[in-house]
Structure formats: structure tokens, C-alpha cells
Amino acid sequence: MATSNVFATIQSHINNNDSELALRRILDAAYDTGNLKLIKETTEISKLVRPNIVSASVMVKEQLLQATEKIRIENVDYASTANSDILLSTQNMRKTYRTGRFSLDALSLQIKAGEVLGIVGENGNGKTTMLTMIAGELMSDEGSIKYNAFPDADNYSIKQQLAFIPQRIPRWYGGLKDNLHFTAAIAGLSKTENEVMVNFMLERFNLSEYADLTWDKISSGYRTRFEIARVLLQNPKIMILDEPLANLDIKAQQTLLTDLVFLAKGTRRNMAVLLSSQQLHEVEKVADNVLFLKNGKSVMNNSLTPSVQSFMIEVESAGDREQLQDALVNEDLQIAFNGGFYTISSSTISASQMLQLLINKGWTISYYRDITNSTKRYFN
């Protein structure tokens, strides 16, 4: 993301009273600079602003604008150092478990710096197997994984720079803040840098008021936030998240995903993000590429550009299936019902035309989604 775009986005959020969003972007912008002084100052501003953020008062706006201006002014030489190098590639990576019940078929992929790769698929289709192999936790039976980001590094060094957040976050002990300090320290952040970065992460992920709490005292959603804050302190080049949205409410899911995109696409500190999820639409909104796994096989592995041969929509209505079929009987449409939604597809009628058709037939539609380019179509 270009530097000017960052400031324009922040300005837009402030103008539209999206103060919470603006604050997060300001913090991201400060983090992206890597300027410790700026990060510290922005953290202080955040601490000052956050208690009144909901009111979006004039004072809050002013403070946010001042913070934005500070970042802009103090970073006149804020040139982008982001790159799009290939950080990781796999070639025909396969895995069959000893029980023989499941096999992950040959899988080849590449992931670049600044890229977000979403991995979707139903339960038990190989998402976790794939991610754990890429994270170096599980051995593949065949094929290779090449960590282009860490040439000549041994497994230990690779794991230092590759952050993996499993679906079931390992329990940690002690205070939340102590854990962050510890992670920062073992990643090489010492003294002031450690203090500044930990305070920043606490503020960035809205964890400041929970800093002294332990595992038992915070919710699973906050544990996910903590885990992300923790791995970010390691300044990883590749971040792998297995089902990070599982424990989050809908708003938190949205927040996390947009945060990940900003963190991945920083102008200086960019990284590759691999995340698996069942939340197809949310993932598709932010991912550059989506990999759909079905029965251990990659069904779709490309960028989200329209390339499908049929149009497909998902609708919810009070009417029953027979009425719908009767209404659309003369049209070139296929109707499927999964118990909750109707899935209507056509090779000739576009999604918007399908919607128009339904309205014209007098149908009351309570939910509509175009899934033509979504991996959701493969779930049927």
C-alpha cells in the first residue's frame, strides 16, 4: 500500500467519524515506519484517545489528526522498502497419515511478501495438515518446501522467523505482559525497544487493560489477539494462522482480517500471511489468493479474478422450493437447496440479472449474495 494511500485512508476515517479505525491505521502507520520514537509517541496518543474514541469528539479528531501529521512530517523520507519477493514455495507437497484415512494430495504454491493467502475448505480436508507442514511442524511424505525468505537457515532459525498460530493456541502461563516482554526479549528486542514495542502491541490490539491478566482471566478472542501481538513482536517474515477467526465475534473477525492485511502490506515491514478459515466471505474479502481444499486436493488455487464459466447466487426467502421452481421454470437456471439457502446458478444469466428476475417475480428476498467468484460454490 502506497504511503499517500495510507494517509488518505486515515484522513477519510477521521472525516467519517470512524475514529477507532483511524486510530488502528495510525498505529499501523507508525509501526510500519520502524521509528521507535514515533511508535512510542503514537502509543501514548492512543492511550490518551482510546477512552473517548466512541464519542468521536472534536478533541479526539484533533488528536488523531495531529498524530497523523506527526507521522507524515517525521517521515519525509518515508520511502517504501516493501518488496514482493517469493518468500516460500512448495512443490508437490504430499502427506498421508499412517492410519491411511486422509491424504493431502500434491500441492504446489508460492507466496510472496505482502501477500495474503486464504486457505478454505470444509472440516477434515487438509487445511491444518498443510499449514503445519509449511510451518515446519509436520514432515511431508513427498515434495519439497523451500523457504526462499531464509536461505541457508537451519530449522531452528527458520522457526525463529516464521510465526505459526495453531487453531488451538497453546496455553501460556504468567501475566500477559510478561509473556510479551519475554517474546520480545528472545526475539532480540532489548531494554527500551522491548518496553516500547510491548506497550505498542498492547495498545494496537487493545490489550492494555488486560496486561496483568493471566490465561484463565481472558476470553478466547483476546487470547487470539494476544497471540498475534506476541508473534508480531518476533517481526516474522511469514505468518501462518490456522482458523484465527474461530473464536472471534463477527466484528472482531472483520477487525482482525483488516488488521492482518495492513500488517502484511506495510510499506516497510511487509510479510506474507497464510490463514485458514471457514469464514469464506470474510477471507475472500481480504485475501489476494484463495486456495480451496476438498478431500485433500486443491480444487481452486488462483487469484480471485472472475474466470468461472457459470454465474451463481445464494438467496434466502420465505417462499418454498416448489414456488421458486414454478416461478423460474422457463429460465436457464439450476436451483439447489441446502436447508438454509437456495443456490441458483446459470451459464447465461448474470448474478444481477438473477436478482432482478426474482424481484420481478414478486419474491421477497431476505438475503442475497453473488458467489460466482467465491469458493463458496465448491461447498455445494
Q: Could you say whether residue 124 binds another protein (CB under 8 A)? A: no
Q: Which of 190, 302, 347, 380 forms a contact with another protein (CB under 8 A)?
A: 190
- Please tell me whether residue 98 adopts helix, strand or coil conformation: coil
The residue among 49 and 274 lying less far from another protein, judged by its C-beta, is: 274
Measured from the CB atom, the residue of 191 and 251 that comes closer to another protein is 191
- Comparing CA positions, the residue from 187, 161, 183 lying closest to residue 227 is 183
Among the listed ranges 26-34, 112-120, 183-191, 345-353, the one in contact with another protein (CB under 8 A) is 183-191
Burial class (CB in 10 A: 0-12, 13-18, 19+), 106: middle
- Backbone conformation region of residue 162, classed left if phi is above 0, alpha if psi is from -120 to 50, else beta: beta
Applying CB under 8 A, the span of 29-37, 74-82, 174-182, 278-286 interacting with another protein comes to 174-182
Nearer to another protein, 30 or 163 (CB): 163
CB of 55 to another protein, least distance (A): 31
Residue 319 and residue 167: Cα distance in Å, rounded? 39
Residue 166's CB is within 10 A of a number of other CB atoms, namely 17
Work out whether 216 is an interface residue with another protein (CB under 8 A): no
Q: CB-based burial of residue 56 (10 Å sphere; 0-12 exposed, 13-18 middle, 19+ buried)?
A: middle
CB-count burial class (<10 Å; 0-12, 13-18, 19+) for 81:
exposed
Q: Of the two residues 73 and 156, which places its CB atom closer to another protein in the complex?
A: 156
Given 41, 195, 331, 370, the residue binding another protein (CB under 8 A)? 195
Q: How many residues bind another protein (CB under 8 A)?
A: 31
Of the candidates 26, 21, 56, 53, the residue with the CA atom closest to the CA atom of residue 42: 26
CB atoms within 10 A of CB 11: 15
**Shortest Cβ 175–another protein spacing (Å):** 4
The CB-of-101 to another protein minimum distance in angstroms stands at 16
- Establish if 99 lies at the interface with another protein (CB under 8 A): no
Give the contact letters, 128-167, x = binds to another protein (CB under 8 A), - = no.
-----x--xxxx--------------xxx-xxx-------
Q: Which residues bind another protein (CB under 8 A)?
A: 133, 136-139, 154-156, 158-160, 172-175, 177-179, 181-188, 190-191, 194-195, 212
